[in-house]
Amino acid sequence: MVLLASKRSFVFLHAVRFGMLAMGGLLIGHQAIYLAQYGDGAALGQAMTSGGHDGYWTTFTTVALSSLLLLLLRSAWRLHELRRDAAGLAPEPRAHRRSGAYARELLRLWPPLFGTVAVAYLIQENVEHLVAQGHPAGFTPLIGTQAPLALPILALVTFALAVGGALVRWRIAVLEARVRAARARRRWVVAADRLHTSWGLVSAIRATFWSLARQGPVRAPPSSFA
């Protein structure tokens, strides 16, 4: 089965995967911030209840964890397919083997992920305060004195997720490059063989045609022969 994907569908799927990773980062980051602030005990449960989490937290946790699990399964399956296709092929292109390729992938992923999760956490906390207490919290969930570690924790959580995500992306890109290079070489060899045969015939016909059809002055036979 051949699937045709347009540039728009590729961008859409990339955004969906990024959103699923950000949702998982929001869940882990939220829990890490609350654990650092209230500890693991009755104070944590009371803070979650007073913050308005009881109404939706179970559903949100299920969706976020399911998103991370789907990303993990999808990545594992894609890597399995590419390893199978790349078995016995030539090594990956040198440009993909350099450590800078992975670093660039990490830098492309982590800053957007950190910014998205931080903004989503701020919106989440403001909506919770508005519903539970009747007023928004403003920027205090991120930079307030009650949660001084919020931004560092979100940075660490998203960095850890970005390290894993960039590693998967980089490895997939390496294997895809190997498969594309091998397929291109096979197409070139087949095309070269076919062109060689056909152009040999064309060259022979052309040479014969011009030797018969060529008109112009020619040398006379030697006088002794005459």
Q: What is the pLDDT of residue 33?
A: 93
Q: What is the pLDDT of residue 151?
A: 94
Q: What is the pLDDT of residue 223?
A: 58
Q: What is the pLDDT of residue 61?
A: 94
CA angle 121, 149, 161 (to 5 degrees): 60
Choose among 135, 223, 160: nearest CA to 32.
Answer: 160
Q: What is the pLDDT of residue 28?
A: 96
The backbone region for 216, taken as left when phi is positive above 0, alpha when psi lies in -120 to 50, beta otherwise, is: left
Residue with tokens 């894609």: 78
d(CA 71, CA 39): 30
Q: What is the pLDDT of residue 138?
A: 87
Choose among 87, 68, 91: nearest CA to 79.
Answer: 87
- The domain limits of the chain are 7-179
The helix-helix angle for 150-213 and 99-133 (nearest 10°) equals 140
Q: What is the pLDDT of residue 86?
A: 72
Provide the token pair at 53: 């989490």
Q: What is the pLDDT of residue 111?
A: 96
For 56, which DSSP code?
T
Q: What is the pLDDT of residue 48?
A: 85
Q: What is the pLDDT of residue 144?
A: 74
- Cα torsion 166, 168, 173, 175: sign: positive
**pLDDT by 10s per residue, the chain, length 226:** 444 456 677 688 889 999 999 999 999 999 999 998 888 878 888 888 877 787 889 999 999 999 999 999 999 998 888 888 777 665 655 545 555 888 999 999 999 999 999 999 999 999 988 888 888 888 888 887 777 889 999 999 999 999 999 999 898 888 887 777 766 666 554 444 455 555 556 566 666 665 655 555 555 555 554 4
Strand intervals (E) in 83-192: none
Provide the token pair at 108: 């492309």
Count the neighbouring beta carbons within 10 Å of the beta carbon of residue 168.
17
Longest dimension (CA), the chain: 125
Three-class SS state of 11: helix
For 222, which DSSP code?
P
d(CA 170, CA 134): 46
